[in-house]
Amino acid sequence: MDKLKGKTVLITGGSSGIGLASAKLFLEQGARLAITGRDPDGLMRARDELGSDTLVIRSDAGNLADIGALMQQVANHFGHLDVLFINAAIATAAPMELVSEAQFDDIMGINFKGAFFTIQKALPLFSAGGSIIVTTSITNQLGSPDFSVYGASKAALRSLVQSLGLELIGRGIRINAISPGPIATPIFDRFGLPADMVKGIKTGIAQKSPSKRFGQPLEVAKVALFLASDDAAYLVGEEIVVDGGMSLL
């Protein structure tokens, strides 16, 4: 019950899905927690679920000024960080010909550039080593039609985790990735596709999956807990795939 006792943790995108499930699990394990998101209603609901001890911060993961202000708030509140979980991301669908510059910049700006600078600006808070976890996706290795920019943003993150694995371990900071397959979260309803199409996509994925089902956010959160904790003390620059066997097909 005490795998993160007294540890200070920041989860970006902690107001929904995998991030929220991780926030709940990390609290159960004794963490002192801060989470981010953008949607005020989502943040309010998360605050209700996580309790008033959790620092709930509205911060756009794709905005460098927001990221700077976020780190200042975390520094003022906790003084330092032990665990950073870079989880915020968007996934909007479009065939190659229809991807606009704005959509491209939005996906890369939040998923990759935002992640990069969140880590950069958080580093001064890691005074005594610690753990950084990055949520990638199995699309970083599998072809994923209509999600080419999203998949590329996650492949960039996978590469970043390998480079920073070597760059940061000398300071006692481990960085690793979690690569989820299909997980039952609201992200599918945010693809920007008609509801009946999303339903069809979900049915097709569940049928195709070797496990014949979607994963649950808690099943990913448990892996995040492992990477955050000292149980993963010798894991550096790795990516753990949590996909019910999907990427083996």
Ligand X SMILES: NC(=O)c1ccc[n+]([C@@H]2O[C@H](COP(=O)([O-])OP(=O)(O)OC[C@H]3O[C@@H](n4cnc5c(N)ncnc54)[C@H](OP(=O)(O)O)[C@@H]3O)[C@@H](O)[C@H]2O)c1
Q: List the catalytic residues.
A: 150
Does 57 interact with ligand X (rule: CB under 6 A)? no
- Per-residue interface string for the shown chain with ligand X, residues 91-130, x marking contact by CB under 6 A: x------------------x--------------------
Does 16 interact with ligand X (rule: CB under 6 A)? yes
Does 60 interact with ligand X (rule: CB under 6 A)? yes
Locate 192 and state its tokens.
């920007």
Angle between helices 114-122 and 64-78 (to 10 degrees): 30
Does 49 interact with ligand X (rule: CB under 6 A)? no
Asked whether the beta carbons of 34 and 9 are under 8 A apart, the reply is yes
Considering the complex, state which of residue 135 and residue 229 has its C-beta at the smaller distance from ligand X: 135
d(C-alpha 116, C-alpha 109), whole Å: 10
Q: How much is the CA Rg of the chain, to the nearest whole Å?
A: 17
Compute the CA torsion angle 33, 39, 45, 49 (nearest 10 deg). -20
d(C-alpha 127, C-alpha 175), whole Å: 15
**Using CB under 6 A, which of 38, 148, 168, 177 touches ligand X?**
38
Does 209 interact with ligand X (rule: CB under 6 A)? no
The residues binding ligand X (CB under 6 A) are 12-13, 15-19, 36-39, 42, 60-62, 87-91, 110, 135, 137, 180, 182-183, 185-187, 190
